[in-house]
Amino acid sequence: MLSASRASLPPTIDNGAAMKSSNLACLCILLLGNAVSADVVVGGTGASCAEDPACFNRIHAAIVPVATASPGETLVFHGRDAGDLYLDPDKLTSAGANPRRGLGVVHPLTGPVHIEGAKAGDTLAVHIVSLEPGAAGWTMASPGGFAGDLVGTDSLFVSWRLNDKFATSDALPGVRIPNASFPGVLTTLPGPEQQRTMLAREKALADTGGAVLMPDPKFAEPAALCGEEGTHQQECLRTIPPREHGGNMDIRYMQAGTTVYLPCFIDGCGLAVGDFHYAQGDGEVSGTAIEMDGVLTVTTSIGRNGADLSRGPHYEGPSRVLGIPSGSFYATTGFPLKQPGDLPREIAYLASEKIRPLGNLSKDLNLAARNALAAMIDHIVTEYGYNRSQAYIIASVAVDLRIAQLVDAPNVGVTAILPVDIFDR
């Protein structure tokens, strides 16, 4: 399979290519069966990101495009799951040992693609046509997720069997998660000036004790630029946070039928995608959704004198993507209340002695979301009989954390919404 090519039809599968599993092969057959016409095909070779010339997992202005596409052409991206695992669906049984190699491989992205005619200062409109899921996915619950201390210190790795309708897991009997696939990462590349600004502000945050991952060359791709012997190894930004250029936005509403507007900081924009999700709850609280490989089809167009994207990308689409996948729901609420003496870890880096003795914080959405999530985990454990780690995973892939109100000082409100139809009973 070509890593970057122009074609009138999706490429046939080269059985001699170094595919790690049958997942991409199945996806290619599905794509052919749907008779999707692809003008440019990117990614899909090699057993890992390191072996795929169209794969990278760090952000830097000097990353070289691997393909070129004109506005209006159909772009097909073969994407790897967030941990570069490619699970074999025939070997999935129940929750098992965590096969991940750590955060160094996160996220393998496909691209970048040079968009002909796009100039620095333009807006790139990415029209999402479809996302075909792979055959298997995974989710992990660990103390590193949002409010992960609520579920204890145990980690749980869960694998899922996927089809075009539902995800099921032996580790979560009685749960079926509807397909709501979307790309977690849609991004352009920053220019040199933006690169320096982003790196400087993240270093300043890290120096205060804030939660941020600084450049790390281990498992970094492209290795020649960002790896342990790379020319810019201490400049390559991690893919974990979203930024002005887009990136790991993890917005589940960016599904097929929507258009995402990204800024072009360099000529050609440098479009890349990745971190495909089969389903996710608003919040992705455990740190992972149902992570999967897949095939994403998009088209692009270029806008000039568009919206101000300096605070982040915009997007639009049909209202159907805003719904929950259930005929009924159960919801909990949260307010910024705490036990005097407690210091929630998400704000511990502020080290304010004013915070610890208080039983109430003013307008703190983080604490309100934590409390709504805690109540929902308790509900899932009590009502459905799952343990706390299982409940945490269910919350990460299916529960939506939504803002209720921001004006009723001091107690802003967050609500956690559980679609009850995901349970067989």
| 3-state SS assignment for residue 382 | helix
> Is residue 14 pLDDT above 50, yes or no?
no
Average pLDDT, the chain: 88
Residue 188 CB coordination number (10 Å): 30
Residue 20, domain CATH: 2.60.120.580
**Residue 256, pLDDT score:** 97
| 3-state SS assignment for residue 419 | strand
Measured CA angle at 156 (ends 150, 161), to 5 deg: 125
Same domain, 54 and 173: yes
Range of 7-16, 151-160, 266-275 with top mean pLDDT: 266-275
Same domain, 192 and 127: yes
Same domain, 396 and 374: yes
Q: Domain tally for the chain?
A: 2
Mean pLDDT across 215-236: 97
Rounded Cα distance between 189 and 198, Å, is: 12
Digit-coded pLDDT (tens) for 26-84: 344 344 344 457 999 999 999 999 999 999 999 999 999 999 999 999 999 999 999 99
Residue 383, domain CATH: 3.10.28.20
- Lowest-pLDDT choice from 19-33, 161-175, 328-342: 19-33
Same domain, 181 and 105: yes
**Residue 19, pLDDT score:** 33
Q: Which element (helix H / strand E) includes 296?
A: strand 291-303
Q: Give the residue from 322, 347, 372 where a domain finishes.
A: 322
**Residue 4, pLDDT score:** 55
Rounded Cα distance between 293 and 295, Å, is: 7
| CA-based nearest residue to 111, from 192, 165, 188 | 188
> Is residue 168 pLDDT above 60, yes or no?
yes
Higher pLDDT, 68 or 15: 68
> Is residue 404 pLDDT above 60, yes or no?
yes
Q: Give the residue from 272, 302, 322 where a domain finishes.
A: 322
Same domain, 378 and 252: no
**Residue 94, pLDDT score:** 54
Digit-coded pLDDT (tens) for 91-145: 776 555 667 788 899 999 999 999 999 999 999 999 999 999 999 999 998 778 8
Same domain, 342 and 309: no
How sure is the predictor about 12, in pLDDT bands with cuts at 50, 70 and 90? Answer: very low
Is the Cβ–Cβ distance between 58 and 238 less than 8 Å? Answer: yes
Same domain, 377 and 310: no
Same domain, 286 and 341: no
Rounded Cα distance between 69 and 303, Å, is: 16
Residue-number span of the structural domain to which 372 is assigned: 329-422
> Is residue 294 pLDDT above 80, yes or no?
yes
Q: Give the residue from 298, 322, 346 where a domain finishes.
A: 322
Structure tokens at 350: 């502020």
Q: Which element (helix H / strand E) includes 368?
A: helix 365-384
How sure is the predictor about 25, in pLDDT bands with cuts at 50, 70 and 90? Answer: very low
Helix axes 365-384, 388-398, angle to 10 degrees: 120
Same domain, 316 and 348: no
Same domain, 284 and 196: yes
Number of residues that make up the chain: 425
Same domain, 381 and 245: no
Same domain, 144 and 247: yes
**Residue 36, pLDDT score:** 58
Rounded Cα distance between 80 and 86, Å, is: 7
Rounded Cα distance between 182 and 278, Å, is: 7
What sign for the dihedral angle of Cα 96, 100, 101, 102? Answer: negative
